[in-house]
Amino acid sequence: MKLYRFLSGPDDSSFCHKVTAALNKGWELSGSPTYAFDAATGTMRCGQAVVKEVAGKDYHPDMKLGEQ
C-alpha cells in the first residue's frame, strides 16, 4: 500500500526536524514544499507532502500513518 502524509509546522528548526524524522523512517518527499503566512498567528508556516510504500499491509482509515 502507498501512504500519504502532509507535514506542517512553524518556519523554524522544529519543522526541519519533523521532516528529517519522517525521511529517516522511510518516507520520501512528494512534490515541492509550501510556505505561507498564517494571519491568525502572524507567523510563517511550512508544509511538505511525504509518501511511503509499505508491503504486506492493507490501508485502514484508523491506522496511525506516522507509526508506519
How far is residue 36's CA from residue 9's CA, in Å, rounded to a whole number?
11
Distances (CA, A) of 24 to 21, 28, 41, 42, 58: 5, 9, 30, 31, 22
**2-15 average pLDDT score:** 95
pLDDT score recorded for residue 17: 97
Higher pLDDT, 21 or 68: 21
pLDDT band at residue 68 under the 50/70/90 scheme: confident
What is the reported pLDDT for 54?
92
pLDDT at site 46: 97
- pLDDT tens digit string along 18-61? 999 999 999 999 999 999 999 999 999 999 999 999 998 888 88
Sequence-distant (≥ 6) Cβ neighbours of residue 53 within 8 angstroms: 1, 2, 3
SS3 10: strand
